[in-house]
Chain A
């Protein structure tokens, strides 16, 4: 950690006084590290969000009975609230194989990720609350599909602060602007510095993923240095005030940040082998591969919470029709980059304390929509985690024989959040923020830590 150099002036005296909260504010950028007396298994999170809702029964949660009963009616009640009308059972068009020492099954959609199953803990009993994209995306990111609440990354920033004062604590790379958009990485009532910093947007290539206003179109760093000195000189003419003092510090921090960000984002020092590992040498995988590589670089540089989003300007993983082509295309774009990230984190020793989370906003129905698609299914789906103290090579929870409902090891989204915080050494019951007269939590009034997934 670096200390922030203060100019030698009467401001220094002010900074030490009872009203000098500018200095305190600067220190708070570093602090915020809660100590709940829990083991810290993960020090940072990489959250890979698969927009649109990948199908669990076609990827990581095989259902032999679904294949056997292809075309037959689902033998139990469908949910009271469904997104669209659906028909009979639809077998997965993909073959599943067992991998690794653990023998966890993975479909042919994810042959690269499959090689890492011994590092992966599959959560097969996850269930959400909302069958529409918007509600489900917001629920996954913020814990609420009803109210505007801080995003998970904002809570982590609030609880744990940053490991590098020259960088934001929470970045989100190529986020989607739909279905909650900025609410998903916003800080809501938490202090503004905890909101995620978006780098680029899902509709634009990852090569354009930059923090807004991080570069000056006109001035060199030398000219900006002179501008800052001028601003400081003007400030020294006026009566001292703690608010103005912390403002000057924020200019200095911004100045350093605009040097630090491009350094992290510069991939020119990466070897050809590493670029290939993430699939940057292949147009199919290059875009998501770049996001994953940036995620590793931000993780190394000390960012607490890094989100990468697999989305685009089309329908993403949302295969209401033509599952075969759609999921085939989507999986091909992410499979190798995800595997590359896991491999790279592991060989750099980062995977041990980096929690990698893979999730869509819901799964898909085992019953067909139309002839060859699947509808949204929040009733039971799969999220997986790797590294960061989770139990690798483990499958936790289950959906029913067809994959419609979570029936065993059921984890609500609140449970998922509670468990993620737990792995970070944070007690979700005690990570609270007082707003509007009461204490709020990421997990609202619910959430249980599922110890079974902890290594």
Chain B
């Protein structure tokens, strides 16, 4: 870059200074001109960021001394030399890495004045050349007052009449403050449907509905919650939430879309961890530093799982064809720092790569401290195009032993080839010559035959070597502190910063990271310290969001100053304290929430005695005075359709990718080789970045590129097109219609009942039965007009009606 810049600069500056020279009178600038003309321009154009209040890049331009002293990149001016004066380069805007002021360039006359003044030797009135003392650039400690940086203090549960449950007491207290009373409980059928989707992402079966409606024992609902939490489908559904947060994908996306062929091991680890209720602190620790937690005594399966968990750090999208390897290395670390901070802390440290965070108390030095932990970690095997991420061996001891044995066999057989060659050559070599120089072709025929057989044996042994299982993940690299990158440019390094965490979030002072360690273990300890102000708050808020559709802090991924404030901080803090005190059990948290009256409310506004007021003061239901009508998430829509069609394959785990690890999913040929035809649950379908499966993409699944704890719910015509015209819905409709017609040959009277039971798990109302009958009749008539033979009309009409029911609101929405 340096050479390129110099070339560009030398080509440019000759022309660029012309305006300054061309203006009559500017050649005779004096010291008074600095005071009267130049300084006011700098004050007006630059003072906001480089003045007494703020000194971006350590630079202040409000005095001549400040100009000479410069900032992190060096002096702002070298009197007489435009080429050496950073200020001139910046305002001339010829160098993309240094465009100042940001946005609009200086007007031509001001540009001419400033450059002419520098060229004229920067005449100034004299006085002290001592730079003014910089303000303390950053005072993170003063920022600790921000609500989410303060320690969690368990608030007392308020005493609220009719609210024995602590969650209800907090919710009711907030509602009472605005004069709102919540809605009553939802009816039991709605409740069962809601809880089943909420915990498993699947609809309840007709038998489950019947059993629950018949069970009037007081703990009937609690037992349903336990049953669902104990089902493997719980882990599948809630793992999908977590995968959103960690931007999980089975391909790199971005520039070179190659397969993450082993990412599925991480996905399956998340599912298993949630199913076994691995405490959240340990869940996090393993993802940040699993490789460091294994000891020689750790059983192999457990050790492998620890390494698999670190896949979290490697799953991000990378510019794998980046020609600038130093930039790629810095970008990979940046992605790790930003993902970790967003996912676990609800903060975006990525901003501080280039400058002190504009809104949150995270400085460039804080960023460098955290980045140093990851530059000390090995995440990439190779940065050469196309770059390769780190894969760790996670084979079973049996596989390792078999692999070692098979490899030894290969080596032994290669040795036999070498021995045969050596002995044959020795036999024919003339005395005094080196046997190695004997050409193999010149050896006798019987030797050739023996060599061929031996080489065949080598090849056979090589084929018998089964590649060892690997998983994306990290290991320790070469520990070293990182440097601040001036303006985020890895080519302009600043000072080194000891590895650590942002000062504002330190708990017991700086992390004590041994010189020979990356610091990930210490980072994990800090993240999961029960006193950490963010970790517990962020996860309980995420869980609340996934249960209610809206977080107590609506911006689930931003707890910084630009994020929303909690609508009910006592509730949030109580839940956070409760999570930590329960040993970080997520299942305990689910039970707490689901058994509260707040979660079990009716979604119908009119069921609140103060409906009018509630709709007026809290129309978007921030305070949870009712349940919110919610569309199913994309994966649940597809899974439900497959379940209704009767083709859902409920087997768990494994990979459905059809290409090898690191192979291209999409190359320059644009040939679409993705396959999404397996009837497995959606969580097992490959997440191909840049080419997400249509039905999931249309219904707002994430793109797997950045952490997302708060999926949107769009309503766009392309969803309707998919429901009306897509193969899956048509196929399910046909299966449903076939079963309905098969059950009742002849008179169609009970068919609407069968249809509703099959699709919605309930009986139709009389009005709905009428609608079905009318629709069947009308569609049959249309089919007749269109010339459909009579024999095919009935099945077709019922298929069309079944499709309408599948595409309608009730299957796709939870009330």
Query: How far does the Cβ of A150 sit from chain B's closest Cβ, in whole Å?
Result: 11
Separation of A146 and B254 alpha carbons in the complex (Å): 8
Query: How far does the Cβ of A279 sit from chain B's closest Cβ, in whole Å?
Result: 22
A72 on the B face (CB < 8 A): no
Separation of A129 and B222 alpha carbons in the complex (Å): 58
Interchain CB contact (< 8 A) of B808 among A137, A213, A235, A254: A235
Main SS of chain A's interface residues?
Answer: loop
Report A-chain residues with C-beta under 8 Å of the C-beta of B725: 213-217, 258
Interface residues of B in 326-378 (CB under 8 A from A): 331, 348, 351, 358-359
A325 on the B face (CB < 8 A): no
Query: How far does the Cβ of A165 sit from chain B's closest Cβ, in whole Å?
Result: 10
The answer to whether B804 and A180 touch across the interface, beta carbons within 8 angstroms, is no
Report A-chain residues with C-beta under 8 Å of the C-beta of B11: 400, 405, 407
Interface residues of B in 761-810 (CB under 8 A from A): 765, 767-768, 771-772, 774-775, 778-779, 782-783, 785-786, 796, 800-801, 803-805, 807-810
Interface membership of chain A positions 11-53, coded 1 if the CB is closer than 8 angstroms to chain B and 0 otherwise: 0000000110010010000000000000000000000000110
B700 on the A face (CB < 8 A): yes
Interchain CB contact (< 8 A) of A178 among B257, B724, B726, B815: B257
The answer to whether A237 and B768 touch across the interface, beta carbons within 8 angstroms, is yes
The answer to whether B322 and A135 touch across the interface, beta carbons within 8 angstroms, is yes
Known: A134-B256, A134-B321, A412-B96. A257 touches B8 (CB 8 A): no
Kindly report which residue of chain B lies nearest to residue A137, judged by CB atoms: B255
Known: A138-B254, A227-B803, A243-B713. A407 touches B12 (CB 8 A): yes
The answer to whether B558 and A436 touch across the interface, beta carbons within 8 angstroms, is yes
Known: A18-B619, A146-B331, A254-B720. A244 touches B800 (CB 8 A): no
Report B-chain residues with C-beta under 8 Å of the C-beta of A93: none
Report A-chain residues with C-beta under 8 Å of the C-beta of B322: 130, 132, 135
5 A-B pairs with CB atoms under 8 Å apart are: A134-B320, A179-B668, A212-B694, A227-B801, A230-B775
The stretch of B56-64, B97-105, B295-303 that contacts the partner chain: B97-105
The answer to whether A193 and B716 touch across the interface, beta carbons within 8 angstroms, is yes
A1 on the B face (CB < 8 A): no
B2 on the A face (CB < 8 A): yes
Interface residues of A in 209-246 (CB under 8 A from B): 211-220, 222-224, 226-231, 233-235, 237-239, 241, 243-244, 246
Known: A234-B768, A244-B813. A177 touches B672 (CB 8 A): yes
B719 on the A face (CB < 8 A): yes
Separation of A405 and B7 alpha carbons in the complex (Å): 9
Known: A130-B323, A223-B800. 10 other contacts (CB 8 A): A133-B321, A177-B690, A181-B690, A191-B714, A201-B672, A230-B775, A233-B774, A243-B713, A247-B809, A313-B669
B722 on the A face (CB < 8 A): yes
Interface residues of B in 282-313 (CB under 8 A from A): none
Separation of A191 and B631 alpha carbons in the complex (Å): 17
Separation of A93 and B359 alpha carbons in the complex (Å): 56
Interchain CB contact (< 8 A) of B800 among A226, A239, A254, A257: A226
A131 on the B face (CB < 8 A): yes
Report B-chain residues with C-beta under 8 Å of the C-beta of A207: none
The stretch of A75-83, A349-357, A386-394 that contacts the partner chain: A75-83
Separation of A238 and B706 alpha carbons in the complex (Å): 37
B563 on the A face (CB < 8 A): yes
The answer to whether B717 and A254 touch across the interface, beta carbons within 8 angstroms, is yes
| A-B residue pairs, 9 tightest by C-beta | A134-B255, A437-B562, A77-B3, A254-B720, A181-B690, A132-B321, A202-B670, A254-B717, A230-B775
Interchain CB contact (< 8 A) of B323 among A81, A180, A231: A81
Interface residues of A in 77-91 (CB under 8 A from B): 77, 79-83
Separation of A415 and B103 alpha carbons in the complex (Å): 11
The answer to whether A80 and B1 touch across the interface, beta carbons within 8 angstroms, is yes
The answer to whether A234 and B102 touch across the interface, beta carbons within 8 angstroms, is no
Known: A258-B721, A315-B668, A438-B562. A429 touches B103 (CB 8 A): yes
Report A-chain residues with C-beta under 8 Å of the C-beta of B581: none
Query: How far does the Cβ of B644 sit from chain A's closest Cβ, in whole Å?
Result: 16
The answer to whether A134 and B319 touch across the interface, beta carbons within 8 angstroms, is yes
B684 on the A face (CB < 8 A): no
The answer to whether A183 and B619 touch across the interface, beta carbons within 8 angstroms, is no
A positions within 8 Å CB-CB of B: 18-19, 22, 25, 51-52, 76-77, 79-83, 127, 129-135, 137-138, 145-148, 175-183, 186, 188, 191-193, 197, 201-203, 211-220, 222-224, 226-231, 233-235, 237-239, 241, 243-244, 246-247, 250-251, 253-255, 257-258, 311, 313-316, 318, 379, 400, 405, 407-408, 410, 412, 429, 436-438, 445-446, 448
The answer to whether B7 and A76 touch across the interface, beta carbons within 8 angstroms, is yes
The answer to whether B555 and A437 touch across the interface, beta carbons within 8 angstroms, is yes
Separation of A228 and B725 alpha carbons in the complex (Å): 13
Query: How far does the Cβ of A264 sit from chain B's closest Cβ, in whole Å?
Result: 15
Query: How far does the Cβ of B617 sit from chain A's closest Cβ, in whole Å?
Result: 12
Report B-chain residues with C-beta under 8 Å of the C-beta of A146: 319, 331
Interchain CB contact (< 8 A) of B255 among A180, A186, A202: A180
Interface membership of chain B positions 699-723, coded 1 if the CB is closer than 8 angstroms to chain A and 0 otherwise: 0100101100000111111111110
Separation of A379 and B7 alpha carbons in the complex (Å): 12
Interchain CB contact (< 8 A) of A250 among B321, B715, B803: B715
The answer to whether A254 and B615 touch across the interface, beta carbons within 8 angstroms, is no
The answer to whether A243 and B323 touch across the interface, beta carbons within 8 angstroms, is no
Separation of A215 and B725 alpha carbons in the complex (Å): 6
| Most chain A beta carbons < 10 A, residue from B721, B783, B800 | B721
Kindly report which residue of chain A lies nearest to residue B700, judged by CB atoms: A192
